[in-house]
Structure 1
Amino acid sequence: MTAGTAEPTTDATNVAASETEARMPEAVIDQTMIANMEAKVGAELRIDHSVNNEEATRIAVAKFAGGIGDVNTLWTDAEYARRSDYGAPVAPPTFSIGCFSGIQFGWPGLGAFHCATQMDIAAPIYWNDTVTSSCRYDGFTGPRPSNFAGRMVTDSFTNEYINQLGEKVAEIRWQVVNYERGAARGKGKSRKIEVPHRWTVEEVEEVERKVLSEKPRGEVPLWWEDVEVGDALSSLTKGPIGLTDEVAFVAGGGAPIPRLKANASAALDYDSHPAWAFRDPVTKAKEPIYSVHYNQAAANAMGVAYQYDVGFQRQCWQILALSNWCGDNAWVKHVSAEYRGFVYLGDVIELGGEVTGKSQDDDGEYVVEVTTFARNQRGDNVMPGKGIIALPSRSDSISPVARRARAAESIRSRV
């Protein structure tokens, strides 16, 4: 039982610890495993079981926006969107992540953490667009020693997202650390922090007031000429992160690997792919490895003290913070982020950043470069990152969004 938690009395309370500790397959990295993975470099992966969305319907867009906590009515109010520079109802710039984000691949018996992402956002996804996702395995680095586990390797993948017109709407390059789970689980029992965090009622009420006070910039342009190097970005607060926050992200299309199923549907999957699941020590039901984000036994079996957030969920928060700051007429062109440390259930995260540069880029757009942070209540930056954002300029008659909307309309008119 994790320190600081209060548990009700149940029939499982008196079960021996050996019967209530979840176990997942454990392996060490050897030459056979390395050779098997080297043979897979460059492979286009089969991802049908982890594709969560392929059509940006009104409801799919609303569920995804709700699952990342995005309150901008641009994504859910069709009339407002038609009056915007998009000219039609549109999905959030992160919607491709809700179509497909990641996959469990290779390294049987090792634990895995998504550790970094680089994303290019190329074109808008409009309501009722169809998005076809693909994933390529680009290879790995390592093995190398780790302070957290015995040894680890880092995989690299590239996702592409193509709409029904053959237009690339986004590309994601992402990395996953794979580690020797047995060594990590042994080391993970010694923690210097208490989870979940002990909040007073007054403290969480103050956090909730801050959450409610933060609004997207909306239709008021943020002019490139008015932004200076050193300017602070607006803040975005998440938390205290609750179980439903994780469930909402999953329900909105975010990153279940494989797609979540129940009863016989799940049993057939787990029978074919035993590494996808483990047996919950209390309920005795099989649960997906992905449940580390909402099941404490799963998190503990991974060597982590408590349930924690999803890497791509955190990535969506970074892009949401930038979109809220720059407004509906600007375009987030590129982001990158590293996921350092865990965001546990009960944590509060403040996202923000600073403008570090401004220029006219090779596309002729007026852009700003920013650094970003995601800081928890302990003062840890759990997601340092960067971004490039195209802003409207008074010297340009068309906004970055309107430019992309016109390009999309031109493609649609020819098809």
Structure 2
Amino acid sequence: MQSSAEGRFPKITQKELDALRQRIGVKIGVTAEPWCYEATRDNIRHYAHGIGDDNPLWCAPEYAAKTKYGDLIALPSFLFATSRIVSGYVGGLPGIHAMWSGADWTWHKVVRRNDEISTEAWLKDIVEHQTRFAGRAIQQIYHVDFFNRQGDRVAEADSWCFRTERDHAREQGSKYSEVKARPPRRYSRDELDKAYQLYAEERIRGAVPRHWEEVSEGEALPTMLKGPMTVTGFIAYAQGWGGLYIRANKLAWKQIYAHPGLGIENRFGIPDCPERVHWEEEFALEVGAPGAYDYGPERCSWLTHHLTNWMGDDGFLRRASCKIRRHNPAGDLLFIDGKVTRKFVEDGRHLVEIEQEARNQDGELSILGSGLVELPSRG
């Protein structure tokens, strides 16, 4: 796909969209090896630390040995590191920007230390939208199943990316016009100290069981802070998650040689990966974003972190959903809140439904989420 005469970047064509539709329902072969094949002690810890999660159930073997699991287990969102597809590695429409925008997860079993994970994936659906961010947008929905070495399905997920025309988003997109017009934010020490108090007060439920009977509908979960957003923080996540297109030297050349539409020239004229929207302010602005911004799977993982802190070691996260509503550029703070909306018993399981939302320092909605948590019962 070549750039159009009117802009630097390619446009979505009907021919390529029709070709992409032919892939629906077709199992995807090995497109790129995952960042993590196995849930090793280090891989689990690196992912947890990449989202700012220091829960000893995933990070401290001496602690985990005393739990019912007898060893470390992986945090639920660790599975993002075992599949490029669920993390946003989309096919088709070369040169069209991809933004990871949400997922629906279901977990069936915990992932234990040293479990080897394999996956099966396919394109599930394509949906066209009109958006304020970039006008016409194509939503690509993928399904991924996750299996352990014994062949047990430990989880499944639908995730989706929105494909957008970069020139349209930059020149005509209206979603971030007010944000871009604001002067750069600079926080006072008092403002930061007030936010950081949430870190000081953050509690991991841990070994103290949260019984189903003690939970009430309408009950609020503690507010969780994430941020302030920095490029350093985005890179910390990429270290644990692996990124989609981050490659060096010969491997970078091989990737761009195999996928010419992937490489986008930087200021030196060197084709570089589109993932640099997360650390390169100038390029982020070129694609219509308000600045270098966080990763989508990172933000989904923050929501599940909010839930696992609350449920404790004896809880099990059955389902979680997230829908991204706006970017979190460097400089933003994010406040995650949740509320119990329903508690019920189904097939002998004591379940709690939780609704979540996260807003930035200006009260703007960043993400919507939900979770279904199984809790132990006193009975």
TM score, norm. by length of structure 1 = 0.84
One-letter amino acid of the counterpart of residue 92, structure 1: L
Counterparts of 2:288 and 2:215 in 1: how far apart (Å)?
44
Counterparts of 1:49 and 1:355 in 2: how far apart (Å)?
39
Label 1:47 to 1:310 Cα distance change in 2 as closer, same or farther (>3 A).
farther
Question: Does 1:54 find its partner at 2:40?
Answer: no
Label 1:196 to 1:49 Cα distance change in 2 as closer, same or farther (>3 A).
farther
Counterparts of 1:174 and 1:197 in 2: how far apart (Å)?
32
2:282: which partner in 1? 297
Counterparts of 2:185 and 2:127 in 1: how far apart (Å)?
35
One-letter amino acid of the counterpart of residue 45, structure 1: I
2:315: which partner in 1? 330
SS at match of 2:154: strand
2:226: which partner in 1? 238
2:200: which partner in 1? 212
Q: CA deviation at 1:206?
A: 2.4
Superposition map of 1:114-153 within 5 A: 114-142=100-128, 144-153=129-138
Q: CA deviation at 1:147?
A: 2.8
Superposition map of 1:257-406 within 5 A: 257-258=244-245, 260-281=246-267, 283-361=268-346, 363-395=347-379
Percent of aligned pairs sharing the same letter: 29
Give CA-to-partner distance per residue, 1:25-46, whole Å, 9 cap, x none: 321332x122201211112223
SS at match of 1:75: helix
Question: Does 1:92 find its partner at 2:75?
Answer: yes
Label 1:164 to 1:303 Cα distance change in 2 as closer, same or farther (>3 A).
same
Counterparts of 1:272 and 1:28 in 2: how far apart (Å)?
21
Label 1:196 to 1:160 Cα distance change in 2 as closer, same or farther (>3 A).
farther
2:209: which partner in 1? 221
Counterparts of 1:104 and 1:74 in 2: how far apart (Å)?
33
Q: Would you say how many aligned residue pairs link Structure 1 and Structure 2? A: 367
Counterparts of 1:29 and 1:349 in 2: how far apart (Å)?
37
Counterparts of 2:296 and 2:29 in 1: how far apart (Å)?
21
Superposition map of 1:37-48 within 5 A: 37-48=20-31
5+ residue gaps, structure 2? 1-6
2:95: which partner in 1? 109
Label 1:340 to 1:272 Cα distance change in 2 as closer, same or farther (>3 A).
same
Q: Is the 8 A contact 1:75 1:91 kept in 2?
A: yes
2:51: which partner in 1? 68
Counterparts of 1:35 and 1:112 in 2: how far apart (Å)?
18
Counterparts of 2:183 and 2:66 in 1: how far apart (Å)?
46
Counterparts of 2:115 and 2:360 in 1: how far apart (Å)?
36
Q: Is the 8 A contact 2:12 2:93 kept in 1?
A: no
Counterparts of 1:50 and 1:295 in 2: how far apart (Å)?
25
One-letter amino acid of the counterpart of residue 294, structure 1: W
Structure possessing the higher relative contact order (Cα contacts under 8 Å, 6 or more residues apart): 1
Q: CA deviation at 1:196?
A: 4.8
State which of 173, 177, 180 in structure 2 corresponds to 1:191.
177
Counterparts of 1:112 and 1:268 in 2: how far apart (Å)?
21
Superposition map of 1:19-38 within 5 A: 25-30=9-14, 32-38=15-21
SS at match of 2:70: coil
State which of 57, 62, 66 in structure 2 corresponds to 1:79.
62
SS at match of 2:366: coil
2:3: which partner in 1? none
5+ residue gaps, structure 1? 1-22, 396-415
One-letter amino acid of the counterpart of residue 29, structure 1: T
Which structure would you say has the larger Rg?
Answer: 1
Label 1:203 to 1:119 Cα distance change in 2 as closer, same or farther (>3 A).
same
Q: Is the 8 A contact 1:50 1:257 kept in 2?
A: no
TM score, norm. by length of structure 2 = 0.92
Counterparts of 1:183 and 1:51 in 2: how far apart (Å)?
32
1:201: which partner in 2? 189
Q: CA deviation at 1:106?
A: 1.0
